[in-house]
Amino acid sequence: MVTLDNLTVSYRQHPALHHVNGQFAPGSLTAVMGPNGSGKSTLLKSIMALLPLSGGRVAVSTPRTRRAYLPQLAEIDRSFPIDVRDCVLLGCWPAVGAWGGVDAGLLARVTSALHSVGLEGFEHRPIGSLSSGQFQRVLFARVLVQDADLILLDEPFNAIDSKTTAALLTLIRQWHQQQRTVIAVLHDDLQVRQHFPQTLLLAREVVAWGDTAQVLTEPHLRQARTLAEAWDDAAEICNTDQRLTGKVAA
């Protein structure tokens, strides 16, 4: 469903991801882990085709309108003056186009999605007035109304209280049961071991990818840390013609 073929993405010639190969199977539930700056957000944006690639290919069998993306909270401007209902409706925009297709059925779906995330009655609250936890619930409601087959979540539990996290983990479990493909960037080892069958451990390159218990081993985690400590942006000019199998380009 999502195939990464020698994927390389650079910002001003510095590789954030290089020569990444692998596949997210249809219906899989995968955690993406790795140190800060290891290319996790860049990977999700590449799958959403939000970034130009410097090399390789991302093949996604799911049409654009069936992909949902929840960006990292820090990347969202919450001063934008819209209310909760319109923010959730924006999730439907790829499928229905601008505001033309908003009908009673769609509004009922928004109400039901807000109910599912415990935000009934919040339709007309400006998004700027919500707590981080409430706003994250709104973003999950937006994913719910999209009814997507491929769901990408970038640090969905950052700055979120444990009660909200538990509620949102339940939603993710339901998506998995419904055979949707879910890819989530996460930091909490324990949470990943408990709830995510597959893990991709990144350090700009793939450190390990497969069953979570086999990926989150001490040697792999140590390798990811070692790679991260070796990052020296000045030394990293990636030559995309050259297959780098490990470490940074020297």
Q: Which residues bind ligand ADP (CB under 6 A)?
A: 11, 16, 34, 36-42
Token couple for 223: 């390798």
Q: Which of 170, 88, 183 lies closest to 136 in space, CA to CA?
A: 88
Nearest distance from C-beta of residue 172 to Mg ion, angstroms = 18
Which one of ligand ADP, Mg ion, none interacts with residue 134, CB within 5 to 8 A by kind?
none
* Residue of the chain from 10, 41, 46, 136 that contacts Mg ion (CB under 5 A): 41
Q: Which of 221, 248, 232 lies closest to 17 in space, CA to CA?
A: 248
Nearest distance from C-beta of residue 42 to Mg ion, angstroms = 8
- Phi (first) and psi of residue 233, to 5 degrees: -55, -35
Q: Which of 156, 76, 147 lies closest to 113 in space, CA to CA?
A: 147
Residue closer to ligand ADP, measured from CB, 17 or 113:
17
Residue closer to ligand ADP, measured from CB, 36 or 79:
36
Residue closer to Mg ion, measured from CB, 40 or 204:
40
Angle at 100 between CA 97 and CA 102, to 5 degrees: 95
Nearest distance from C-beta of residue 34 to ligand ADP, angstroms = 6
Q: How many CB atoms lie within 10 A of CB 81?
A: 8
Nearest distance from C-beta of residue 227 to ligand ADP, angstroms = 12
Binding site for Mg ion (CB under 5 A): 40-41
